[in-house]
Amino acid sequence: MTIKLPQIIGHRGVAAYAPENTLESIHMAADMEIKWVKLDVKITKDQIPIIFHDDTLERTTSSSGNISDITYEDLQQLDAGSWFGDSFIGVSVPTLEEAIEVLIDRNLGLNLEINPSPGHEKETAEIALDILSQYWDEHEKLLISSFSHVSLETAIEMAEDWHRGLCLPSQWPENWAELADYLKVSAINVNGNDVTQEQIQSIININLPILAYTINDPKRAHILQSWGVNGIFSDSPDIIKDGLLNVH
């Protein structure tokens, strides 16, 4: 089962230009004519799926503490934009449902990374995929990825016909190829800033497409592309797009 992946994917929307993982960031990606975005999904204490990356609140909201300890209602009271810039004061953390509605409305493809808080690997996947299945029809414009093999196993159980991506950390597990086979993935997501050409070749050898995160340097993007990487996640996808187009 192959998936046609875009050359460039907006990272958490377009995280260089708007607060990451917000509706504003998704809209901005669409305005910049980026075809796909990568968003992270977690669940709140009361099991509402939200678009959020960190396990804790302090980096991107006006509060602190664990995401898994806050209810959705309390989360809604927080400011998730002012840390980025004054023009985003009052921006809130969106639900997965709200994000999906914008994605469909703006005709964007989605790499949804299941990014569970520790101990919530299975339920985060179950809740997120249940919501997703109520809205999302286009299999070719959806990749479900995760660093958690438990989350990806859950994705197989719930939605086997959706494409899955295995995210590899900088230090690859020795059994990565067996994991990829076991989880029947359609793509491998790697850290493009420290991956080697030899590692890229090892993925090419098992005939899987490769996505590289998170690349904001056009020169590095070009090198990765020359090695055989299929797609690149970027906070500033417009710069990467121009850089790749202008390489001769």
Reading the block at residue 133, the tokens are 């299945």
Q: Which of 53, 139, 149, 163 is catalytic?
A: 53
Report the Cα–Cα distance between both ends of the chain, in Å, rounded. 33
Place of tokens 């299945």: 133
Instruction: State the sign of the Cα–Cα–Cα–Cα dihedral 67, 73, 77, 82.
Output: positive
Cα–Cα distance for residue pair 234/57, rounded to 1 Å: 23
149: annotated active-site residue? no
53: annotated active-site residue? yes
Angle (deg, nearest 10), helices 149-159 and 121-135: 40
Q: Which of 11, 27, 120, 139 is catalytic?
A: 11
Residue type at position 140: E
Reading the block at residue 83, the tokens are 């840390």
- Taking Cα atoms as reference points, which of 32, 36, 44 lies closest to residue 12? 36
- Taking Cα atoms as reference points, which of 87, 67, 48 lies closest to residue 78? 67
Just list the catalytic residues. 11, 53
